[in-house]
Amino acid sequence: MPPERSPHAVEFHDLARFIAVRSDYPLGPERDAAVKRLPARVQEIIKVAVSPTTTGDPGFATYAPLATAFLESLRGLSVFDTILNGGGLRVPLNSRVVVETSAITGTTVAESHAKPIRSMTLAASDIAPRKSTAIVVATDELLKLVSADGARLFDSELRNAVAVATDAQFLATLYASVTPTASAGATTANVLTDLGALLSALTLESQSRVYVAMSPTNISKIMLKVSTNGGFAFPSASMSGGQIVPGIALLASNAVPTNAVIAIDASGIAGNSELPELRSLRHGDVQMDTAPDSPPVAGTVRSNLWQHDMRALLCERWFGFAKVRTASVSAISGATY
């Protein structure tokens, strides 16, 4: 069963919608009726919680399976989650890992010859916690009267928002850690040249799991590239992933830096993620902008949630990552396939 269709993942979104809609309702028949329409596990979480307005409460003892399923549903949507679950090294947040900047190499020596000594260079790197946040704002009427199709849209948008917010930090940090190679061009041969450059810049081992991340626009163009015999040059490439060449997974992400292609060896990435936290906001001001002023300025236009009969659902996650090998990431710049 795909992670995004697992029962726990569906229940997580049921809980999220309940928190968004019912957070300020008093205990009473209306709220009790709403709870009874929810799955049994969600009812259990709500009933043991001190307050239904936050999942950070110790009362959410049964929340973990649902939140874990939600994170698993991000696999395939988020480059970070795909790599973490597809060969990455899981280590606790706030821990220190050792980064291998040059490896030990062995030699073969003849009998009675001196045995050479090799050295390796190590550097420390911290798995510093980072926070990604997704906020969904909707009117009371929309949240209360949402249809099944609307519920699926809510679920999809919540997953996409968390995935893009996480990848924006993950991919930008990895891209900034390397010196990208300029793209060779837009032809099929150029794409293969770029792929060769990406792989050559990685230090690959037998346990390596290589992923190539690029924008959906570039993937759509790669899917239409033809070979010299007239067939599709990359028949396994697709918008949902697939492979760019056998053994090299392809990942689409809207968070990939502009015109960049990033190759990542998952075995050289360490990281982890805390369970996401859900909170409902009924009062307060928000700036309805994808790039809000930070900090606010005199001209910042804000909307009051209560005055506009709206609610905001806030989903936050703490995550962290670090390279454990210097040459575990490579990149191409200026790629417009």
Which of 140-154, 195-209, 215-229, 293-307 is predicted least confidently? Answer: 140-154
Q: Quick check: 6 pLDDT over 90?
A: no
Q: How many CB atoms lie within 10 A of CB 92?
A: 8
Tokens of 63: 């929340």
| Lowest-pLDDT choice from 155-159, 270-274, 304-308, 329-333 | 155-159
CATH number of 74-337: 2.40.50, 3.40.50, 3.90.1690, 1.10.10?
Answer: 3.90.1690
The residues spanned by each domain of the chain are 74-337
- Is it the case that residue 102 has pLDDT exceeding 60? no
Q: What whole-number distance in Å separates Cα of residue 200 and Cα of residue 202?
A: 5
Give the residue, 109 or 261, on which the prediction is more confident. Answer: 261
Instruction: State the number of CA atoms in the 13 A half-sphere of 81 facing the CB.
Output: 27
Residue 257 host element (H or E): none
Q: Which residue has the tokens 């010859």?
A: 113
Mean pLDDT of the chain: 82
Percent of the chain with pLDDT over 70: 81
CB 197 within 8 A of CB 55: no
In this predicted structure, the answer to whether residue 11 has a pLDDT above a threshold of 60 is: yes
| pLDDT given for residue 80 in this prediction | 97
| Length of the chain measured in residues | 337
Q: Among candidates 174, 168, 202, which has minimal Cα distance to 322?
A: 174
Residue pointed to by tokens 């690959």: 204
Pairing of strands 285-286, 303-304: antiparallel
Cα-based angle 12, 15, 18 (whole degrees, multiple of 5): 155
CA distance 89 to 314: 29
pLDDT tens for residues 58-68?
Answer: 445 567 788 88
Place of tokens 């929340």: 63
Look-up of token digits 């030990």: 104
Pick 116 or 171 by higher pLDDT: 171
Task: Give me 303's structure tokens.
Answer: 């909307």
- Residue 18 has which token pair? 């309940």
Predicted confidence (pLDDT) at residue 4 exceeds the cutoff of 60: no
Q: What is the reported pLDDT for 206?
A: 87
Task: Report angle CA 174, 213, 217 to the nearest 5 degrees.
Answer: 125
Query: Angle 29-36/7-22 helices, nearest 10 degrees?
Result: 170
Contact 99, 322 (CB under 8 A): yes
Has residue 337 got a pLDDT over 80? Answer: yes
Ranges of H-type helices in the chain: 7-22, 29-36, 40-48, 63-72, 79-84, 140-144, 148-176, 188-200, 216-223
Q: Phi and psi for 118 in degrees, rounded to 5?
A: -110, 155
Q: Given pLDDT bands bounded at 50, 70 and 90, which one contains residue 50?
A: very low
Q: Which of 10-14, 90-94, 113-117, 197-201 has the highest mean pLDDT?
A: 197-201
Among 54-68, 157-171, 285-299, 314-328, which is the least confidently predicted range? Answer: 54-68
Structure-block tokens of residue 257: 């830096």
Give me the mean pLDDT over the 258-268 stretch: 96
Q: Considering the chain, what percentage of its residues have pLDDT values greater than 90? A: 41
pLDDT digits (tens, 9 = 90+) for 293-322: 888 888 888 888 888 888 888 889 999 999
In angstroms, rounded to a whole number, what is the distance separating the alpha carbons of residues 327 and 265?
Answer: 9
pLDDT of res. 20: 75
Pick from 152, 176, 156: nearest CA to 164 = 156
Residue 36: per-residue pLDDT: 59
Residue, of 31 and 126, whose pLDDT is higher: 126
C-beta neighbour count of 24 within 10 angstroms: 12
